[in-house]
Amino acid sequence: MARRLGFRHCDPRLAFLWADAAQPAARWHGEGEGPANYFADTPIGAWAEFLRHEGITDVADLAGVRRSLWVVELPEDGYVQPAVPAAVGTGALSSYPACQDEARRLRAAGHGRIEAPAAALQPGAARGWAATAAGIAPAEPARDGIVWVLYGTPELTGWIAVDAGAPPASVLPLVKALQP
């Protein structure tokens, strides 16, 4: 079976997947509707999700961050895109109920995986880096980030990339602040 790689941050004391419904509500699931496991298509996207939800905007605050970053093999197919306007799918906290309603509709229709635009990253911020003779440079073209949500308790393989570390300061200007 073909696989794609997803990136996920978590508390270093815990497993990299939620295994029960006792998780806080988020954009694509409400209270008691888990497990819902969210993955970014880039490490920067995973870090941005954490920084956005914690409201971290100052480089000095990164010194207190201790998170693990996992690289996880995800199923290649079976994802559905939510039918919400882009401004809703990447919007403020006030857009969460509409996203949660759409996710409920999709799950009721038998869909267990969502692919959606990353709400935590600025447009174009999911680009990587290219090695050049002069060092590194932003890779072209710029691209938007993606988030995958898998519902239930999938059997996935993950590799720890960062153990009890902090995101690089270069991620801070790429994060879209979470508005009420």
The 10s digit of each residue's pLDDT in 64-76 is: 999 999 999 999 9
Q: Over 70: is that where the pLDDT of 173 sits?
A: yes
81, 115 contact by CB (below 8 A): yes
The 10s digit of each residue's pLDDT in 127-163 is: 999 999 999 998 999 999 999 999 999 999 999 999 9
Q: What is the pLDDT of residue 144?
A: 97
Give, rounded to a whole angstrom, the gap between the first and last alpha carbons of the chain.
41
Average pLDDT estimate for 107-119: 98
The 10s digit of each residue's pLDDT in 46-97 is: 999 999 999 999 999 999 999 999 999 999 999 999 999 999 999 999 999 9
Q: What is the pLDDT of residue 3?
A: 75
- Those residues with Cβ within 8 angstroms of residue 132's Cβ, 6 or more apart along the chain or in another chain: none
Cα-based distances in Å from 95 to 75, 110, 112, 144, 151 = 28, 23, 21, 20, 20
Sign of torsion, CA 144 145 149 155?
positive
* 131 bridge partner residues: 136
Percent of the chain's residues with pLDDT above 70: 99
**Domain locations in the chain as residue ranges:** 3-172
| DSSP H or E run through 132 | strand 129-132
The count of C-alpha atoms lying within 13 angstroms of the C-alpha of 6, restricted to the half-sphere facing its C-beta, is: 24
- Structure-block tokens of residue 26: 């988020």
